[in-house]
Amino acid sequence: MMDCITARLTVFFEEPFWVGVFERQTAGKLTACKVTFGASPSDGEVYAYFLRNWRTLRFSPPIDGQTVRYVRNPKRMQRQAGREITQGIGTKAQQALQMQREQNKRERLERSRQQKEAEAERRFALKQQKRREKHKGH
């Protein structure tokens, strides 16, 4: 049995920029990615961005998501779309984005800690080298 992969994009205005939230659901796991578009993007620009950058988007770690059911009733789908527009981002997507921000923060802190340690080692080695040169005499 093949797993169904669904993707959804929500574009909304978040002062002062237009923002898109890509949600991807695979095997009951939801991941999300937030993208800032800047000026008001047209449908064609959003679709072109989606095609060009889908593989490079950095999605959040997966969280348990609700399974998506396909509804063939067009009126029901229209009502559901209207409800989603008024709600904005789904809470699952917000959780996924929050997890991604936390993960990015941990990675950034780890990188800065490693850089500080490398700089301290470099300074220590330079200080040791100067001491050895002074100790050799003139």
Contact 80, 50 (CB under 8 A): no
Q: Is 18 helix (H, G, I), strand (E, B) or coil?
A: strand
Those residues whose C-beta lies under 8 Å from the C-beta of residue 32, and which sit 6 or more positions away, are: 21, 22, 23, 24, 59, 60, 92, 93, 96, 97, 100
Cα separation, 33 vs 5, whole angstroms: 16
Q: What is the pLDDT of residue 26?
A: 81
Q: Tell me the pLDDT tens digit for each residue of 34-54.
A: 888 877 888 888 888 888 888
Q: What is the pLDDT of residue 119?
A: 97
Least Cα distance to 59 among 109, 12, 9, 118 occurs for 9
The average pLDDT across 14-32 equals 82
Q: Tell me the pLDDT tens digit for each residue of 92-131.
A: 777 788 888 888 999 999 999 999 999 999 999 999 999 9
Neighbouring-strand partners of residue 5: 26
Q: pTM, whole model, 2 decimals? A: 0.48
Residue 66's pLDDT band (cuts 50, 70, 90): low
H or E element, residue 75: helix 74-87
